[in-house]
Amino acid sequence: MAVNKFPVEGSHIMMFARSIADENQIYYDEDYAATTEPGRVIAPPTFAQSSAQFDPDYFLRPKTGEDWFGSGKEATGIKREASGGGGGGGGGGLHAEQHFEYHRHIGPGDVLTAEVKPGKTWEKEGKRSGKLVFSETITEYRDQNGELVITARGVGVRTERPVDQ
Amino acid sequence: MALAAKDLNVGDTYTECLVEDLKRTQIVMYAGSSGDYNPVHTDEKFTKEIAGYPSVFAHGMLTMGMTGRMITNYVGDGRVTKYGVRFTSQVWPGDTLNSTATVDDVTDGIVTLSVETTNQDGVVVLSGYANARVD
């Protein structure tokens, strides 16, 4: 997801830390954080993923006035014949891999950009879900000074049918 | 508290319970904070009737985030330099997850960990690695 402006904010970091059940005070308490080695509130290692919040076109967020594929009165809000499921996850496929390289730890006050570069694509035959199509994206997060702070590599997979349980 | 290289040996392990009986509400919290509102994580009706799964399931990134908590609790704040994972099995509401980091190498002030998170049935749901600076 390309993002022109991802302001890293304290309340967002606090909510993100709560959502991964991480009660470390460094994620919300400035006074405590000042006594730690980083010396300030920092973000948990996987926080960069929440840059999706700042992607105006992010397809996994409902938008006013547009059809949404989740349920309302019906099981899906997309007004066409359901294709009988499949797609292995509906809409986004499944997340197969995620890798982060940290050049510097980010915190409140940083304003990031995220530039996405396409990576490799490959296919594999899966035992539990039919043909698997993998695709890789590289995201470079830079700070307000244009310095690279995080390099992320994600691999998504689309399955022929839902994964057998 | 950061780790000291002199105290680390290849094969050392550190384990935490990440979550017991994962609640749907925790998954909703992750959707809200991350911005990933894919209905397969929060919308039971869609997930059963359209996507074809028995129930909603956790974001892989929720498992990666909770596993990251285990890593930062072990290596210390702001010490991680690399962290990567493969999502090997889905995580469902009600799951109990345990995660273990194992020291693979300590060289030039960097510890290399292999990381594995398993569910209550011993199924590996996430496997990966992390590098961190040590004293």
Domain limits, chain B: 5-133
Contacts of A73 (CB under 8 A, 6+ apart): none
Q: Which two structure tokens, joined as six digits, stand for B6?
A: 């002199």
The per-residue pLDDT for range A41-79, each reduced to its tens digit, is 999 999 999 999 999 999 999 999 999 999 999 999 886
**What is the model's pLDDT at position A87?**
41
**Distance (Å) from the C-alpha of residue B48 to the closest C-alpha of chain A?**
9
Number of domains in chain A: 1
Task: For chain A, positions 49-78, list CB contacts with chain B under 8 A.
Answer: 49-50, 52-53, 55, 58, 60-62, 69-71, 75-76
CATH number of the structural domain spanning residue A17: 3.10.129.10
In a domain, A146, yes or no: yes
In a domain, A47, yes or no: yes
The beta strand positions in chain B, using DSSP E, are 13-19, 80-87, 97-107, 110-118, 124-133
The per-residue pLDDT for range A87-125, each reduced to its tens digit, is 444 445 789 999 999 999 999 999 999 999 989 999 998
**CATH topology assigned to domain B5-133:** Thiol Ester Dehydrase; Chain A (3.10.129)
Neighbouring C-beta atoms of residue B110, cutoff 10 Å: 15
Q: Which domain holds residue A148?
A: 3-61+84-159
Taking an 8 Å cut-off on Cβ atoms, the answer to whether A69 and B46 are in contact is yes
**Distance (Å) from the C-alpha of residue B97 to the closest C-alpha of chain A?**
13
Q: Binning pLDDT at 50, 70 and 90, where does residue A129 land?
A: confident
**In the A/B pair of chains, how many CB contacts fall below 8 A?**
170
Does the structure show a pLDDT above 50 at B98? yes
Q: Which two structure tokens, joined as six digits, stand for A100?
A: 């982060």
Q: Percent of chain A scored above 90 by pLDDT?
A: 76
- Residue showing tokens 């929060």: B42
In a domain, A79, yes or no: no
In a domain, A66, yes or no: no
In a domain, A74, yes or no: no
List the one residue out of B119, B113, B69, B117 whose CA is nearest residue B127.
B117
Chain mean position to CA B21: 15
In a domain, A99, yes or no: yes
Does the structure show a pLDDT above 80 at B123? yes
- Residue showing tokens 């290289």: B5
